[in-house]
Amino acid sequence: MNKNSVSNISKPVLITAIFFVLISCSFRLNQDNFDKIRTGMTQEEVKEILGSPTESSSITIGGISGTSSKWTGDGVIITIQFLNGKVQAKQFSKSRDE
């Protein structure tokens, strides 16, 4: 098999894999999974339910760390604030188009 035929096979496989990863993430973003998130859960526990966040920002001041993470997809936005790695607040919203 030459180099081009490997490359031609790899591109469709890669595109298909990326598609399934994106689809599986959006299926996690729903009211039922949001309701499973409880105050005091760790970031890892939340990731097990929702997957990795779409965006996240953190700050540490005087030994106290805060993180705001957002999951977006399929018209849903879930935002969770963590203090020292544990859920402190959460918000669920859906776009008005749905």
Which CATH code fits 3-94? 3.30.1450.10
The domain ranges of the chain are: 3-94
- What pLDDT is recorded for position 10? 77
- What pLDDT is recorded for position 64? 97
What CA–CA distance (Å, rounded) separates 94 from 78?
9
Nearest Cα residue to 64 out of 80, 81, 83: 83
Predicted model pTM: 0.71
- What pLDDT is recorded for position 61? 97
